[in-house]
Each structure stands twice: as structure tokens, then as C-alpha cells.
């Protein structure tokens, strides 16, 4: 049973004024090293001792009545979390701005393509009308020539 912060820090191989990040890193390394599933050692008591030391330090960071972090026992997880969260928040805001710009640009490009498509459709419709009018004129000429031939053959 671990009775002091100094004893727990010695087991993890960290200084008493280490930050929470350093404590977690030391715990993870030792837990990997001594974990029973690794098969590196047959004595699992060292793994349980490391886990107990980490648990002791985590409990020492928290006020047992309120559950809030008190002081800088091994590191202030609230300040570390706030720093991490604020950096992620600014990254997320930058990504959102970039996404919004890209979305607006694509909307402009799509609108431009739609306008070009509509212009081409109008041009095609105009060409079709001109073709239809030309065909009507040709048909009228053919009919007039046929009538002329019929009238000319009767005289």
C-alpha cells in the first residue's frame, strides 16, 4: 500500500513536481513494460504496484469531497485541458472558415456552370428555330416550284 506522494513518484520514476502529462507518460511506459500480457516478466506484482502508484497520484490530484482538482499536486489537468481545448478550438474554427470559403467558391462555380448551360440552351434553341424557318422556306420554294410546273404544263 502506497502511503505518500513521494513513494508513488519514486515508483513511477518521476519528480514530485512533475506535470500530469509527465505522470501519464511514465505510467504508460511502465504499464507497457510490466503488463502481464507482454510476457516479458512472470511477476505481475510490479505492474500492480505501478498501477497503484498512478491511482494514488490521480486521487491526490482530486479533492475527494468535491471531485475538483486542487492546486498543482502533480499537474493541473484543468489548465492543461483548457490549453489543449483552446488550441483545438482555434484549429476547428480555421477548418470551418476554410470549409465555408470552399463551399462558397463551389457554389459560385456551380452557378456559373448553370448560367453557361442556360446560354448554350438558348443558342441551341435559336439555331433550331432558324433551322426550322429555313426548312419551311425550302418547303415553300419546293411547293411554289411544283405549282409553277403544274401551271406551266397546262398552258
pLDDT of residue 67: 43
Residue with cell 507497457: 32
Per-residue pLDDT in tens (0 to 9) along the chain, 155 residues: 788 888 889 888 998 888 888 888 998 998 888 887 776 666 678 888 888 888 888 877 764 444 444 444 444 555 556 666 777 878 888 899 999 999 999 999 999 999 999 999 999 999 999 999 999 999 999 999 999 888 887 65
**CATH classification of the domain holding 13:** 1.10.287.110
In a domain, 95, yes or no: no
pLDDT of residue 17: 85
In a domain, 87, yes or no: no
In a domain, 127, yes or no: no
pLDDT of residue 65: 45
pLDDT of residue 89: 79
pLDDT of residue 70: 43
In a domain, 97, yes or no: no
pLDDT of residue 45: 81
pTM (2 decimals)?
A: 0.41
- How many helices (H) and strands (E) in the chain? 4, 0
In a domain, 56, yes or no: yes
In a domain, 8, yes or no: yes
DSSP for 110-132, written as a single string = HHHHHHHHHHHHHHHHHHHHHHH
In a domain, 2, yes or no: yes
b/e per residue, 90-123, with b = 16+ CB within 10 A? eeeeeeeeeeeeeeeeeeeeeeeeeeeeeeeeee
Residue 42: domain span: 1-75
In a domain, 10, yes or no: yes
C-alpha cell at 51: 498501477
The total number of structural domains in the chain stands at: 1
Amino acid at each position: 500500500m502506497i502511503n505518500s506522494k513521494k513513494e508513488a513518484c519514486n515508483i513511477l520514476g518521476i519528480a514530485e513536481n512533475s506535470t500530469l502529462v509527465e505522470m501519464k507518460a511514465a505510467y504508460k511506459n511502465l504499464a507497457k513494460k510490466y503488463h502481464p500480457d507482454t510476457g516479458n516478466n512472470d511477476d505481475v506484482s510490479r505492474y500492480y504496484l505501478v498501477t497503484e502508484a498512478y491511482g494514488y497520484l490521480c486521487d491526490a490530484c482530486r479533492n475527494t469531497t468535491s471531485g475538483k482538482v486542487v492546486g498543482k499536486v502533480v499537474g493541473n489537468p484543468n489548465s492543461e485541458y483548457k490549453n489543449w481545448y483552446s488550441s483545438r478550438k482555434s484549429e476547428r474554427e480555421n477548418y470551418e472558415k476554410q470549409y465555408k470559403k470552399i463551399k462558397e467558391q463551389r457554389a459560385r462555380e456551380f452557378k456559373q456552370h448553370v448560367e453557361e448551360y442556360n446560354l448554350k440552351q438558348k443558342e441551341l434553341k435559336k439555331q433550331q428555330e432558324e433551322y426550322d424557318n429555313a426548312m419551311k422556306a425550302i418547303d415553300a420554294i419546293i411547293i411554289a416550284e411544283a405549282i409553277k410546273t403544274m401551271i406551266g404544263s397546262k398552258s
